[in-house]
Amino acid sequence: MKIVRTAQCDPARLVEGVKRRLSPFEVNIPEESREKAIKVFGQEISPIESVRRILEDVKNRGDEALLFYGCAFDGVTLSKENLRVKEEEVEEAYRKVHPPFLEALRKAKDNITTFQRHIKLKAPSDLSVNGTSLKLLYRPIERVGIYVPGGKASYPSTVLMCAIPARVAGVEKIIMVTPPGRDGKIGPERLVAARETGVDEIYKIGGVQAIGAMAFGTLSIPKVDKIVGPGNVFVTLAKREVYGYVDIDMLAGPSEVVILADDDADPELIASDLLSQAEHPGSAILITDSQRLAEEVSQEVEKQLAALSSRDLARKSLEGLGLIIVAQDLEEAIGIANQIAPEHIELQLKRPKALVSRVRHAGTVFLGDSSPVALGDYIAGPSHVLPTGGTARFFSGLTVNDFLKKVSVISYSKKALKGVASEVITLAEAEGLPAHAQSVRVRLR
């Protein structure tokens, strides 16, 4: 891995370069995707233009557009009748998964459910003073759509991390869209995860067209109120385009980890955690104040890569999104980490708990040698749907509370209304809204 010393470069420019590479909108489009777009649209167009064309087509042609783009981009031939997963397909999926997988899935489900119930917001007590009554109600969103990536990898954990918070919130209907293989089938692990977490309907569709289907609705796929779940750059662009028709969780880019480590840290553990992010593929960054540790971690990464079955993918990620930064001291290292605002941050430090309050921007913080990111990915409890690309400065990880709407309730007695009438009338008239003022005056007669 490349090692950079802040003493020999501008740390601010270094961080800006890192953030550009991690932006969800700076990802290089694979040549295969470019070629498919040219074939479908008859010309080379920008990613955002292709997204807009697909969304508009789905809005206008519904299921016909879904089937067309599923065939054109994913090579999957489906009919309207088999867009939705049937009960017998789910039952077959249960026969295909191994008992240890189901046991692990249920353990993760229990942990996630427990945590989401623990953090679920509860309505505060009513605020009642002198004839006024104010209260706040929490109401669940009615319909939620989950996007679960497919393709080369299958992510049953994403089903858990999206569906369980929605279910705990009390969402009435949860649908899931996920890309099928060329054989028109969905990996059994995803189907089992959906059934275990109470997903109501599953559809064999992915990509931009799946986002459009959930945002606008088709004859086969119902319109939802909120779309959650990660995807590639096209899915992310599509979510940005449909925001307003529906709510979305966030705009996610490549997965990422920043590891803050001092001279006491174990280079073997750090290398293993860097590689676990790199194989997503994703960004893997170590920030340390120890030149010795930096060099040992770099050597350990090469050693572990040689034995890793996903080494080709991991190496490619490290070449483009991997970096070791040697800061002048721990204070500077923490500052750089906060500027990056990563999805995951590990504190592999002598006193991690003492420094956790210094981390201002991160999706999830992992403390100490025994808390790898993989725990958060699968079983700890908080959702692994987290802000990336520096968006942890203003986004948070997905929780049960993202599926709750806040409704204010206001009640005034006539005496209480008289007590504030002049102020309301004054403010309304100052804003040039005489009917507002009149709506108060008529109640004073």
Q: 385 to each of 158, 180, 200, 344, 377, how far by Cα in Å? A: 8, 22, 21, 11, 9
What the block records as the tokens of 303 is 């050693």
Q: Is residue 113 classed as helix, strand or coil in its secondary structure?
A: helix
Backbone angles phi, psi at 53, to 5 degrees: -65, -40
Cβ atoms 77, 184 nearer than 8 A:
yes
What span, in angstroms and rounded, lies between the C-alpha atoms of 172 and 85?
A: 19
The CA-based angle 300-20-322, given to 5 degrees, is 5
Catalytic residues: 343-344
Q: Is 389 left (phi over 0), alpha (psi -120 to 50) or beta?
A: left
Read off the tokens for 74: 């994913």
Neighbours of 439 (CB within 10 A): 13
SS3 per-residue string spanning 118-132: HHCCCCCCCEEECCE
Cross-strand pairs, 130: none
Give the start-end residues of each E strand in 111-249.
127-129, 132-140, 143-147, 173-178, 201-204, 226-228, 247-248
Pairing of strands 255-261, 282-288: parallel
Which helix (DSSP H) or strand (DSSP E) does residue 320 occupy? helix 311-321
Q: How far apart are CA 331 and CA 115, in angstroms?
A: 32
- C-alpha angle with apex 169: 148 to 367, nearest 5 degrees? 70
371: closest CA among 293, 265, 280? 265
